[in-house]
Structure 1
Amino acid sequence: MLAKVNRITHGSDYRATVRRGARFTGASTVSYVRSNRDTDAVRFGFIVSKAVGNAVRRNLVRRRLKAAAYEVLPQLMEASRDGAGMDIVIRALPASAQATWATLHEEVSRGAARILSRQPTGQRATVTASPAKANVRP
């Protein structure tokens, strides 16, 4: 489970990350990443709408995403040792309702690898899931 210091708890932080962060798109999730100078921690937030399914299915997806985030947290913490923290919001798409644990874990891991390989700037960028078709739009 993610510690409280590693969770986004305010709606304003969710909004700022989704609106101003870099976007990484996968088949089942969309991840938004924004550097946060207010804290030195890596923080995660999760958005799982009713389009994913009923409450049981949404909570299952959210728990799987949290567990996957917990596993990639040490890698991201090492990368953010420059003093600035990082906010990451993962939005579950309706396809995540049928996705297996391995699929969701792979998407979160792949998103973390992209974050580590390319530190986002202040501008929002879109990166598609296919490595062969890496479209970047400012």
Structure 2
Amino acid sequence: MLAKANRVVRADDFRTTVRKGRRVSTRHAVVYLHARSFGEPTRFGFIVAKTVGNAVTRNLMRRRLRSVGRDILDQHSTGTDIVIRALPGSDEVSWATLHDEISQGIDRGVSKR
């Protein structure tokens, strides 16, 4: 589980990240990055719509995405909000593939700043 300080919780923060942040598309997810103050912790948020699957599948995807976020958190210690939107079909890929795609997407988004 991600610590509370590392989670995007408020709807306004989600909205700001998705609307004003940098968007990077991967095959199975869309990653939005929005820079905040440098001293603040990196925060993750997850969007898993009904198009991904039923409630059990969506919760499984959310847990998988949280695990990816926890692994990536050590690499990105800057004050960035990262929202990951799972796309339909993302529930069928392996965890390693999903992890690599999202990690590379975040690296591409951070390097473009």
Contiguous gaps of at least 5 residues in structure 2: none
Return structure 1 stretches of 4+ with deviation > 6 angstroms.
none
Letter in 1 for 2:100: E
Q: Secondary structure at the match of 1:2?
A: coil
Letter in 1 for 2:57: R
Aligned length: 113
- Which of the two has higher C-alpha Rg? 1
Q: What corresponds to 2:81 in structure 1?
A: 87
1:112 and 2:94 matched? no
Are the aligned partners of 1:43 and 1:87 in contact in 2 as well (CA < 8 Å)? yes
Taking the aligned partners of 2:38 and 2:110, their CA distance within structure 1 comes to 20
Contiguous gaps of at least 5 residues in structure 1: 120-138
Taking the aligned partners of 2:27 and 2:102, their CA distance within structure 1 comes to 11
Q: Deviations over 1:30-49 (max 9, x none)?
A: 00000113961100000000
Are the aligned partners of 1:76 and 1:116 in contact in 2 as well (CA < 8 Å)? no
Q: What corresponds to 1:100 in structure 2?
A: 94
Are the aligned partners of 1:46 and 1:91 in contact in 2 as well (CA < 8 Å)? yes
Q: What corresponds to 1:22 in structure 2?
A: 22
RMSD: 1.4
Task: Name the CA shift for 1:118/1:15 in 2 (closer, same or farther; >3 Å).
Answer: same
The 5 Å alignment of 1:27-106 reads 27-37=27-37, 40-77=40-77, 80=78, 85-106=79-100
Taking the aligned partners of 2:6 and 2:109, their CA distance within structure 1 comes to 17
TM-score between both structures, scaled by the size of structure 1: 0.77
Letter in 1 for 2:59: N
User: 1:116: how far off?
Assistant: 3.8
Once the two structures are overlaid, the 10-residue window that deviates more, 42-51 or 98-107, is: 98-107
TM-score between both structures, scaled by the size of structure 2: 0.93
Are the aligned partners of 1:6 and 1:41 in contact in 2 as well (CA < 8 Å)? yes
Q: Secondary structure at the match of 1:41?
A: coil
Taking the aligned partners of 1:20 and 1:89, their CA distance within structure 2 comes to 12
Taking the aligned partners of 1:106 and 1:114, their CA distance within structure 2 comes to 12
Identity rate, percent:
50
